Chains A and B, each alone.
Chain A
Amino acid sequence: MPVAVETHDLRKAFGSTQALNGVDLEVPRATVLGLLGPNGAGKTTAVRILTTLLQPDGGTALIDGINVVEDPRAVRQRIGLTGQYAAVDERLTGSENLQHIGRLFRLGSTEARLRADELLAQFDLTEAADRVVKGYSGGMRRRLDIAMSLISRPSVLFLDEPTTGLDPRSRLGMWDLIEGLVRDGTTTVLTTQYLDEAERLADQIAVIDQGVVIARGTAAELKAQIGGARLTVTGASPADLDAMATALGSLPMVIGATEMDPITRSVTVTVTSAEGVVPAVVRTLDSAGVEIADVDVAGPTLDDVFLQLTGRSTADPDDADGVAAAPAKRKGRK
């Protein structure tokens, strides 16, 4: 599969703070990479380098094979950036904001207007199109902001913490919207501090901490790294309990002992990965003639993963914003 975004040994220091300390990334076309990490981990610095806003100290960064340092204009032609702040002009209407960016991409005025209308409809902003952005809600601004990044139908879309500061409802709406873009084939690099966001939206996750990728893989793979999921199967009849335990014990992904609970008619085992477990269980028990009432797979959360990898929880921002990491954030955005 062609690679849309590629970095190799990317480095950037701000003073004595190493914001990026040799980052390798690879994003296949039409997939989503989630850059996950606490404040100051280096996520935004990576995005700023990839979007030509910042020069790296070392390493290479390519968008569609084009080097961001050697040919920034050609790169800018192919990307869309939605930064941490909704970068909209409050004095203009939603439609004018979109047309403005369209003209800077050298669309003719009719073309720019048509494209603006199209995006306004897609982002549910048609009714607000001719209203000045100053009166928009946070969620509307964010939608307009992302729409502005899509004017040129970019090959790669960068979303830097797209749901930070949104209320829970707008956040869910934003997730649906991003999923829609991804279905349409937009390669996306997404930074987030939220594990549930990365899990829901990203095909691949790279966990960044203090300027290095400390883990990568799918959400399921990351979870598997810290031990497997817990599988609980509830049988329809108590008489089947022994047969159920035997059948489950024979599955290749099951590790460790089998626990039986006659009261709930359930058997609990540990499996190496939650992936593909349920169909295997159903097939196995079906051929063993055991009727199933319920199957439940509970994996560890990405929070557990992060805690395991860094020794810190993401839920505690004070802790995550460690002494060494804090200046990187501040300077990284200068």
Chain B
Amino acid sequence: MTATTETMEPAAAAPLPTGVLWIWRDSWTEATRHLRAVPRNPELLVFATIQPVMFVLLFVYVFGGAIATPGYSNYEQYLIPGIVAQTVVFGSAFTGVGLADDLSKGMIDRLRSLPMYQPAVLIGRTLSDLARNVVAFVVMMIVAFLVGFRVEGSWLAALGATALLLGFSYAFSWIQALIGLSVSSVEAANSAGFIWMFPLTFVSSAFVPTASMPSWLAAIANANPFTKLTNAARALFNGQDPGSDVWQAVAWAVGITVVFAFLAARKFARSASR
């Protein structure tokens, strides 16, 4: 090969990297693409936290007096873990909407034509949404303490509850990723991402004890993985024995992540702009 053709060669001649470092680097590069945008659109984050804060205030002061929660010092102690669980799980919808947006703008096509680790597009997206959820979580906990919520168990248990809640939101991001890659528009991703989460989070122990529901509904609510999450977080924040709820919730989070990460990655490999 002569010197002239050598300069014609693309910068590409370097060997293609492999391994964990490469996966992490590409994933982090993609995550920074989204994180960089957050401070530029602060209103997005503000509105994303206003709704849950409003929910806390409405539930505590409107329903608080009417809902009996035997075994807890007050309704706040019962409600807050449930409403926080709902908020971080709802926050996962950003993943689907964001991916649908990238897809409709041809960004996914561009990324798929690069020699990068392809699933890094999904890993980066879910990680940046997790970071956004951490912010929403912190804001909610501040409001919760202001309305009288207290950690009644150990702080270590409270930390465990936090990890569990964020872990669940991360798992749900992968469900949303699959939805975002499957629907035909950003609007559809928004609807399809939210609609099923309402029954999922309301038919659970998040807002009222399941014993107050009709027995057929209580049976569904008790089997709901979201009830496992809520019960586990509630027990850990209130210094109660969570029994098997923690392990069941962890199993659900891990199971959902594994299954949906696989399905989303497969969908991604076949996806293209529309």
Chain A residues engaging chain B, CB cutoff 8 angstroms: 48, 51-54, 73-74, 76-81, 83-92, 96, 100-101, 103-107, 132, 148-149, 152-155, 185, 333-334
Contacts and interface: CB of A to CB of B under 8 A. Distances in A.
Contacts of B29: 100, 103-104
Interface stretch (B104-112, B129-137, B156-164, B229-237): B104-112
A73 B16 contact: yes
Contacts of B110: 81, 83, 87, 101, 148-149
A87 B109 contact: yes
Nearest to A151: B11
B116 A104 contact: yes
A13 B26 CA distance: 33
B274 A77 contact: no
Task: Tell me whether chain A's interface is mostly helix, strand or loop, or mixed.
Answer: loop
Given A52-B112, A105-B115, A87 B107 contact: yes
B11 A105 contact: yes
Interface stretch (B36-44, B61-69, B87-95, B252-260): B36-44
14 contacts: A48-B272, A52-B113, A53-B272, A77-B16, A83-B109, A87-B106, A87-B107, A104-B29, A104-B116, A105-B116, A106-B25, A148-B110, A154-B12, A334-B272
B32 to A, nearest CB: 8
Contacts of B112: 52-53
A106 B17 contact: yes
B116 A132 contact: no
B272 A333 contact: yes
Nearest to A330: B274
A77 B115 contact: yes
B146 interface: no
Interface residues of B, number: 32
A53 B107 CA distance: 13
A101 B114 contact: yes
Contacts of A152: 10-12
Select the residue from A51, A54, A87 with max chain B CB neighbours within 10 A: A87
A90 B114 CA distance: 19
Contacts of A73: 16, 115
Contacts of A92: 33, 36-37
Interface in B2-30: 8-12, 14, 16-17, 25-26, 29-30
A154 B10 CA distance: 5
B185 interface: no
A149 B111 CA distance: 11
A78 B106 contact: no
A78 B10 contact: yes
Given A76-B115, A89-B107, A155-B10, A96 B26 contact: no
Query: What are the 8 tightest A-B residue pairs by CB atom distance, in nearest-first order?
Result: A91-B37, A85-B106, A87-B106, A87-B110, A77-B12, A76-B115, A81-B113, A77-B115
B113 A153 contact: no
Contacts of A79: 113
A162 to B, nearest CB: 13
Contact of B272 (A54, A105, A107, A154): A54
Contacts of B37: 89, 91-92
B33 A106 contact: no
Contacts of B10: 77-78, 152-155
A78 B274 CA distance: 25
Contacts of B30: 104
Contacts of A100: 29, 32-33
A25 B189 CA distance: 39
A148 B111 CA distance: 11
Contacts of A334: 272, 274
A285 B76 CA distance: 102
A154 B30 CA distance: 22
Select the residue from A52, A77, A106, A333 with max chain B CB neighbours within 10 A: A106
B74 interface: no
Nearest to B101: A90
A334 B33 CA distance: 25
Interface string B193-224: 00000000000000000000000000000000
Given A48-B272, A79-B113, A87-B106, 11 more contacts: A73-B16, A84-B106, A87-B110, A89-B33, A100-B29, A100-B33, A101-B110, A104-B29, A105-B116, A153-B11, A155-B8
